[in-house]
Structure 1
């Protein structure tokens, strides 16, 4: 089959998937954001996938997968049973689809999954889903799900690595063009985890909007696509930072990589997790919108683009989800302050004499606030070690403070960026 015919068949399949979805929810908004547009001097639109019934785009792929599997199963009274492994957005999309299609489904989650996520998934799936908690990590839950399918005959629903999932996710691109009245955007910025969303969107837009450029964004701690493109083959990362849990994938999917392998590694931007927290906090304060870390990736990428090159352009950022656990808010605020150089942690070696602490306190400026103070241990007869956290309102205040440390003979070590030490004691 020729590429042209294959692409036309894909476009038709995406249009069919759209019709399946329209029975469940309206197109998600394509919001022209005045704040970002003014800041960057161009027209910036946000595709608000955080407004689907499950607050992420994952519902699209799940619905298309279910519909196709049920259609292939035949028109009898019985429907296939389904299963998946997930502790996040995929589980919620899966559960919603089970209830919508009236199918029984089993969701395998790690034992460590927060109750909030378990309850939310149960609410979407109602009596149609059974949740099983297995193992301490995702890989153990996945193995249990695969074993369950082998024994029960249930259909495994992958989060991204299947053509039907990719086709469903591509409906995001179809809606974007419809909402722009078929005007071709100059650039579409997409977050990448397993690659299902970006594979579907690029394939559809390459056919229907050939002049559109693409930028992929991954968290710095999980560069599965970037590394695979650099190596020219799929690479499994040895270590992944799970902070951006919606995009922290160790290996890009097989089917998505077949589509994405044609792109250059230069088209993949890696986003520092601390800076991403700054973007999340800024968007919450200015727009009142709660985004999960993966949902803020595309917006954060705007910081690194050439402002001059953006002038007058039409840019679409895909906001992939808004399932944020507010118990994580203190961590987000902490990391945002660290990125902005407004909060630092020091270990101080101070003399064990009366008045030493008072002398130290007089070194602090009027805008310097102690957020943590902990005596660690007596390291010598005449000296003691102190862990201290200081927050201020301007980065240059720390230059003044450390200069005072040195002038006063206080020995100190800035451990703010020392990941090993700070994770142990902060």
Structure 2
């Protein structure tokens, strides 16, 4: 449970008991406490009264929008919300579709509807913690199996993109489970090509820890198919970076990670801006492949996106005379290529990291192999480039991890 929820309960005088690794463990402990203390257990979703209470959301929707309504998209965890909405909507407006939306790694309703009975998921993803439930509620499933039209599942990246959409549209920030329905609408429309329809999304929560927004922002572009993450093999020689940037054409580079190690080939971890309609990922891969580059698509590789992109590197090659520097320059399309053009081919690049954060200034961390006899002329050459720079060769962080 996010600390925001925990602190919210405590701030209102409630006692918080944290038990178990997931909802089933917490539920079992809560039931045991209620039994031993003679307390009343209030179910979060699997109870007729709770289902009816959540169904009043549908009452508000139909009252506020009496006109044409094609479908209502509902986030699904234990199923109380969608069960109540579906029962109410299908009684009054049976022509309106009720569509559930679940994370791909927490799809207990979709699995139950496919099996015709409740199932227990072997593993539940926790990115959308508000719907991280391994089994749909019993009362909930009896209603859902009759009144829910279909279930759509979405990825974590698609959830991040939906959080961004909601923020752009309303300036409000939702938690991942709160953005499920919007992500579901986007996937439904992309799949069906629906046009001119009235679709409603239930935005069900904003309990997100602030520090999680870093991850959301990092992955939103991937969820919108506006960024591709690739591994590229290039010749290990001066000028190969520039040649690769030229091969990309006018595409904006969003990230560039590299660490030199002796050999004939260099491997780059690169993020490239794409567009789902005008310049899709497939066109990028085909273009680079057609120019002779060996490319591996990592856009759907969780290990690459979560960890490898931040750990590309290692220590300097034995005997290398390396100077490491930070640069800043105005961020615009082609800015990275312009930087490499000014850097020229005089020194071999042994380390490189660049990430486009949407800010006005781009930041580059680079290592240059500069022979001892040329060190005296390095400051003058760097000044001639015209970029602000900082020599970080003696920085203890570099010395410890990469020097």
TM-score of the superposition, structure 1-length normalised? 0.61
Instruction: Note the alpha carbon deviations across 1:58-91, whole angstroms, 9 max, x for none.
Output: xxxxxxxxxxxxxxxxxxxxxxxxxxxxx2xxxx
Residue 130 of structure 2 aligns to a residue whose secondary structure is: coil
CA distance in 2: counterparts of 1:137 and 1:250, whole angstroms: 9
Instruction: Note the alpha carbon deviations across 1:287-307, whole angstroms, 9 max, x for none.
Output: 323233333333333332498
Does the 8 A contact of 2:256 with 2:268 survive in 1? no
2:322 — aligned with what? Answer: none
Deviation at 1:374, TM superposition (A): 3.7
- The 1:205/1:413 distance shift into structure 2, 3 A limit, reads closer
2:221 — aligned with what? Answer: 337
Confirm or deny that 1:141 pairs with 2:141: no
- The 1:308/1:361 distance shift into structure 2, 3 A limit, reads closer
**Counterparts of 1:145-224 in structure 2 under 5 Å?**
145-180=30-65, 185-224=69-108
Does the 8 A contact of 2:74 with 2:101 survive in 1? yes
Instruction: Note the alpha carbon deviations across 1:134-164, whole angstroms, 9 max, x for none.
Output: 3444444344333323332222222111122
Deviation at 1:253, TM superposition (A): 0.5
Residue 277 of structure 1 aligns to a residue whose secondary structure is: helix
Q: Which has the higher contact order (CA 8 A, sep 6+)?
A: 1
1:323 — aligned with what? Answer: 207
Instruction: Note the alpha carbon deviations across 1:183-234, whole angstroms, 9 max, x for none.
Output: 7855433222211011112223344445544222223332211221111111
CA distance in 1: counterparts of 2:117 and 2:62, whole angstroms: 32
* Bigger radius of gyration: 2
2:3 — aligned with what? Answer: 115
Residue 294 of structure 1 aligns to a residue whose secondary structure is: helix
CA distance in 2: counterparts of 1:227 and 1:365, whole angstroms: 45
CA distance in 2: counterparts of 1:258 and 1:397, whole angstroms: 42
**Counterparts of 1:253-332 in structure 2 under 5 Å?**
253-263=137-147, 267-303=150-186, 304-305=188-189, 311=196, 315-332=199-216
- The 1:168/1:413 distance shift into structure 2, 3 A limit, reads same
1:228 — aligned with what? Answer: 112
CA distance in 2: counterparts of 1:172 and 1:163, whole angstroms: 15
Residue 388 of structure 1 aligns to a residue whose secondary structure is: strand
1:411 — aligned with what? Answer: 294
- The 1:308/1:424 distance shift into structure 2, 3 A limit, reads closer
CA distance in 2: counterparts of 1:269 and 1:212, whole angstroms: 16
**Counterparts of 1:68-147 in structure 2 under 5 Å?**
87=1, 114-123=2-11, 126-127=12-13, 129-147=14-32
The Cα RMSD (Å) is 3.3
CA distance in 2: counterparts of 1:322 and 1:314, whole angstroms: 24
Deviation at 1:371, TM superposition (A): 2.0
2:231 — aligned with what? Answer: 347
CA distance in 2: counterparts of 1:189 and 1:355, whole angstroms: 52
1:108 — aligned with what? Answer: none
Does the 8 A contact of 2:3 with 2:209 survive in 1? no
- The 1:344/1:212 distance shift into structure 2, 3 A limit, reads closer
2:134 — aligned with what? Answer: 250
Does the 8 A contact of 1:349 with 1:410 survive in 2? yes
Confirm or deny that 1:425 pairs with 2:313: no
CA distance in 2: counterparts of 1:389 and 1:310, whole angstroms: 32
Does the 8 A contact of 2:90 with 2:147 survive in 1? no
Q: How many pairs does the alignment contain?
A: 306
Unaligned runs of 5+ in 2: 310-403
Deviation at 1:401, TM superposition (A): 5.7
Does the 8 A contact of 1:347 with 1:386 survive in 2? yes
Residue 341 of structure 1 aligns to a residue whose secondary structure is: coil
**Counterparts of 1:324-403 in structure 2 under 5 Å?**
324-375=208-259, 378=261, 381-391=263-273, 396=279, 402=285
